[in-house]
């Protein structure tokens, strides 16, 4: 069942700029939808997990553009003919142009990667929505990883300060007990934060969460900064509480130095 973003009557006001998202990556879909929703004349009218749902949504909303993951499109190439007949522009989600099979490359009007910048995303969608082929997106080019980290930026903006601190500490391989000590709270509270991070990052375990954080530069940077400030403030408190040459003070100095390294 596809998720309807707006009623068909509302979509009538933007007939030439209706957009449908198709693919199993919910986090990325939500990020794309959030960005496009802020653009005048563009609106995501439905989100689908599978190709069959996308076909139903296309028949219902008559969109100008379909944004679909490469894996779903490759597994359901039979949808290309009805899409062509309906004059729907196809933007495929693929890391590089070389990943798009020769059998379907001529049917694709544009390409976006998971680390595309918001500006490039909007430019590609507008271009394809007007009935053009966005050739520049079908050519490999280098971009700054931090500036183009779309998913990392979207997830970062959804996290609270505490969640960023916990994420940064998990990325540093801290255990729940150590994190609880840094936050001045109980381990159960840390577990609650961790579960929230699983949901917001679209992962199911601690290792996957650490990998997810380390593969998205903007999220990594935010987590490192938040956790560093937390460790430094905790070390400062300990320096104030214990005598100058005590083991606790020396440990606090070491923690601060490690955080700033």
> pLDDT tens-digit profile of 80-103?
988 888 889 999 998 888 899 988
The mean pLDDT of 11-36, rounded to a whole number, is 76
Rounded to 10 deg, the angle between the 26-37 and 150-158 helix axes is 80
Do both 125 and 36 map to the same domain?
yes
d(CA 210, CA 214): 6
Checking if the pLDDT of 42 tops 80, the result is: yes
Return mean pLDDT, the chain. 80
d(CA 190, CA 97): 42
Select, from the ranges 10-19, 69-78, 197-206, 237-246, the one with the highest average predicted confidence (pLDDT): 69-78
Checking if the pLDDT of 245 tops 70, the result is: no
Q: Hey, how many other C-beta atoms are within 10 angstroms of the C-beta on 94?
A: 21
Do both 127 and 25 map to the same domain?
yes
Checking if the pLDDT of 203 tops 60, the result is: yes
Do both 183 and 123 map to the same domain?
no
Q: Is residue 144 part of a domain?
A: no
Checking if the pLDDT of 236 tops 60, the result is: no
Checking if the pLDDT of 241 tops 50, the result is: no
Do both 75 and 11 map to the same domain?
yes
pLDDT at 258: 52
pLDDT at 166: 92
Task: Provide the residue range defining the domain that includes 104.
Answer: 3-138
pLDDT at 215: 78
Least confident of 67-71, 149-153, 174-178: 149-153
Domain count within the chain = 2
d(CA 172, CA 223): 10
Q: Is residue 223 part of a domain?
A: yes
Q: Is residue 147 part of a domain?
A: no
> Looking at residue 227, which CATH number applies to its domain?
1.10.10.10
Do both 16 and 126 map to the same domain?
yes
CA distances from 240 to 178, 247, 253 (A): 20, 13, 12
Largest Cα span, the chain: 79
The answer, as to whether pTM is greater than 0.95, is: no
Q: Is residue 184 part of a domain?
A: yes
Do both 106 and 175 map to the same domain?
no
Residue (of 122, 114, 121) closest to 219 by Cα position: 114
Cβ(114)–Cβ(95) under 8 Å?
A: yes
Where is 112: in which H helix or E strand? Answer: strand 110-112
Which of 138, 165, 184 is the endpoint of a domain? 138
Q: Is residue 148 part of a domain?
A: no
> Cβ-count burial of 32 within 10 angstroms (0-12 exposed, 13-18 middle, 19+ buried)?
buried
> Looking at residue 109, which CATH number applies to its domain?
3.40.50.2300
Structure tokens that stand for 159 in this block: 């996290």
Do both 106 and 8 map to the same domain?
yes
Confidence grade of residue 256 (pLDDT, cut at 50, 70, 90): very low
């Amino acid at each position: 069942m596809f998720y309807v973003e707006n009623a068909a009557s509302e979509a009538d006001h933007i007939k030439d700029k209706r957009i449908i998202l198709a693919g199993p990556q919910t986090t990325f879909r939500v990020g794309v939808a959030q960005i496009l929703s802020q653009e005048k004349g563009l609106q995501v009218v439905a989100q689908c997990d599978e190709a069959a749902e996308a076909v139903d949504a296309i028949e219902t909303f008559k969109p100008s553009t379909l944004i679909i993951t490469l894996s779903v499109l490759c597994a359901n190439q039979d949808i290309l003919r009805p899409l062509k007949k309906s004059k729907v522009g196809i933007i495929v989600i693929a890391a590089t142009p070389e990943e798009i099979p020769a059998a379907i490359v001529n049917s694709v009007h544009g390409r976006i990667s998971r680390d595309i910048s918001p500006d490039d995303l909007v430019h590609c969608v507008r271009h394809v929505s007007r009935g053009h082929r966005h050739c520049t997106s079908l050519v490999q080019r280098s971009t700054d990883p931090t500036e183009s980290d779309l998913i990392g930026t979207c997830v970062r903006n959804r996290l609270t300060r505490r969640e960023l601190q916990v994420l940064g500490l998990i990325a540093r391989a801290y255990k729940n007990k150590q994190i609880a000590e840094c936050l001045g709270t109980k381990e159960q509270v840390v577990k609650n934060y961790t579960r929230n991070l699983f949901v917001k990052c679209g992962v199911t375990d601690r290792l996957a969460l650490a990998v997810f954080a380390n593969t998205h530069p903007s999220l990594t940077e935010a987590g490192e900064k938040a956790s560093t400030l937390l460790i430094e403030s905790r070390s400062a408190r300990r320096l104030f509480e214990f005598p100058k040459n005590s083991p606790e003070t020396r440990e606090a100095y070491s923690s601060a130095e490690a955080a700033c390294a």
